[in-house]
């Protein structure tokens, strides 16, 4: 591993832990993504994490708060890290090819299909509270069924 990779690994460690401490399973390889998605039942909240400011200040906090606020939690919490775990991120994005790659982004998966997708464009330039409310509403609709 070169010095740059080592540096970035140290920088993103707390960004990874923020979701893992919330209960997310971090998938770091394409194989982990395939195994997880092929055996997935019910609903899942999938966060495509990122090192950018809108992930740190908006997406991750909104996801954490939405999960605390909703009565309709998904069965699974999954995350991949764009720009860091490239193969895992690409493998996850292959499960929703109808949406352009976007990070950070939030996918809601239900019964083997993409039920809802919040791209970066609906995260940056919004208030954290707006994103939380948006996601809470989506979880309430998708996970209640």
Catalytic residue from among 30, 54, 62, 88: 54
In whole angstroms, give the CA distance from residue 113 to residue 95. 8
pLDDT digits (tens, 9 = 90+) for 37-70: 999 999 999 999 998 888 989 999 999 999 999 9
Respond yes or no: is residue 54 known to be catalytic.
yes
> Which two structure tokens, joined as six digits, stand for 104?
């950070």
Q: Considering only CA atoms, which of 56, 108, 58, 103 is closest in space to residue 84?
A: 103
* pTM, two decimal places: 0.94
- Over 70: is that where the pLDDT of 145 sits? no
Average pLDDT for residues 126-130, to the nearest whole number?
96
pLDDT digits (tens, 9 = 90+) for 133-142: 999 999 999 9
Q: Give the closest residue to 114 by CA, choosing from 142, 75, 141, 86.
A: 142
The mean pLDDT value of the chain amounts to: 93
Q: Which two tokens stand for residue 136?
A: 């809470």
Could you tell me the pLDDT band of residue 2, with boundaries at 50, 70 and 90?
Answer: confident
CA distance 133 to 129: 6
If you compute the radius of gyration of the chain from its CA atoms, what whole number of angstroms results?
Answer: 14
Q: For position 10, what pLDDT does the model report?
A: 82
Q: Which of 52, 58, 92, 123 is catalytic?
A: 52
């Amino acid at each position: 591993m070169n010095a740059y990779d080592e540096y970035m690994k140290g920088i993103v460690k707390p960004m990874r832990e923020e979701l893992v401490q919330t209960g997310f399973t971090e998938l770091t390889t394409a194989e982990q993504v395939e195994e997880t998605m092929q055996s997935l039942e019910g609903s899942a909240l999938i966060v495509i994490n990122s090192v950018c400011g809108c992930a740190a200040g908006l997406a991750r906090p909104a996801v954490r708060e939405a999960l605390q606020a909703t009565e309709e939690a998904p069965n699974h919490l999954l995350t991949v890290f764009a720009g860091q775990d490239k193969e895992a991120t690409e493998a996850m994005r292959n499960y929703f090819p109808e949406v352009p790659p976007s990070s950070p982004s939030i996918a809601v998966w239900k019964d083997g299909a993409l039920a809802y997708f919040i791209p970066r464009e609906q995260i940056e330039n919004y208030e954290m509270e707006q994103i939380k409310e948006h996601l809470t509403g989506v979880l309430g609709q998708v996970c209640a069924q």
